[in-house]
Amino acid sequence: MVAAIVGGWRWQEARHQGMKLLVFGKSGQVATELQRVVPAGWSARFLGRDEADLQNPAQCSAAVRKAMPNAVINAAAYTAVDKAEEEKGLAYQINAEAPGAMAEAARDLDIPFLHISTDYVFDGSGTKPFLPEDQTSPLGVYGASKLAGEEAVAEAAGNWLILRTSWVFGGRGANFVGTMLRLGAERENLNVVDDQIGGPTPASAIAAALLECAKAMVGGQAGGTYHFAGAPFVSWADFARVIMSQAKLDCRIDAIPTSSYPTPAKRPQNSRLDCTSLEKDFGILQPDWRAALPHVISELSE
């Protein structure tokens, strides 16, 4: 069973010495955390835009073939949800065409390919947590581009793993926790949506889960589509209240409906993800986002 620790990960087995990992992404939230938790004895190369431009799928494919790694992780993506409504072509290039090219190269080398996806592939209807096999129906371009990426990865027909996650936060990059800390220090009260429910997910936990999955797949385990999100489920407003409390900020959070905060792209109201299959197949438990939050707040406050 995988053992979690705040701000990182404790590996229970010192196996796979000499493992060679290639990661697309360098400065994003998950890529940053991956750099922190790569096990001793592994080598990992992290590709930024200067070495692998995701607008150039052929370049991404060539990078995989040149590196000849034991496994590939794609931790890079176009994540500007609202801007994607205007930049559809760019979103599809980065989120669909590039991962497809990476997956094909990994297939040809007979190595695992791991790819991060999102709760936005669902329409957010109902109140039950979505299972990996549930019907997808994205509400906007961002979700549609990520779903197209999933389909391209699966169509490559190699040993692939898609890890859908939600509400990612960490000590680096732009995220909800950082925004709340900044605004909470400036204002007496904030209006925050309370009818969108999901699982905030520490970037450090995603990084650790990906490495555990990569280790298992290099050892012969098959991949597939899985969900990985934090627990317990919470609204954005309640998440904000916990942030203010832990950061000791005297900022009142006033709950508002989604209709009072219109955005160019629609957000799913139900972002609950059922993560039981990942626990069953890989032994990876849902992380408690409340345990990771103090470390992230401390890092962002610095």
Contacts of 284 (CB under 8 A, 6+ apart): 2, 209, 212, 213, 228, 278
Cite the beta strand spans of 119-215 per DSSP E. 160-165, 168-169, 189-193, 197-198, 201-202
DSSP, residue by residue, 197-241? EE--EEHHHHHHHHHHHHHHHHTT---EEEE---BS-EEHHHHHH
- DSSP single-letter state for residue 93: I
- List 92, 120, 142, 226, catalytic entry: 142
Tokens at 268, concatenated: 């799913």
Contacts of 196 (CB under 8 A, 6+ apart): 124, 235, 236, 258, 267, 268, 269, 270, 271
Contacts of 186 (CB under 8 A, 6+ apart): none
Tokens at 91, concatenated: 């979103």
Contact 61, 102 (CB under 8 A): yes
Tokens at 151, concatenated: 């389909």
261 is catalytic: no
Q: Is the peptide bond before 138 cis (omega within 30 degrees of 0)?
A: no
- Which residue, among 292, 135, 186, has the nearest Cα to 300 in the 3D structure? 292
Contact 75, 115 (CB under 8 A): no
Contacts of 247 (CB under 8 A, 6+ apart): 181, 184, 297, 301
| Residues assigned a catalytic role | 142
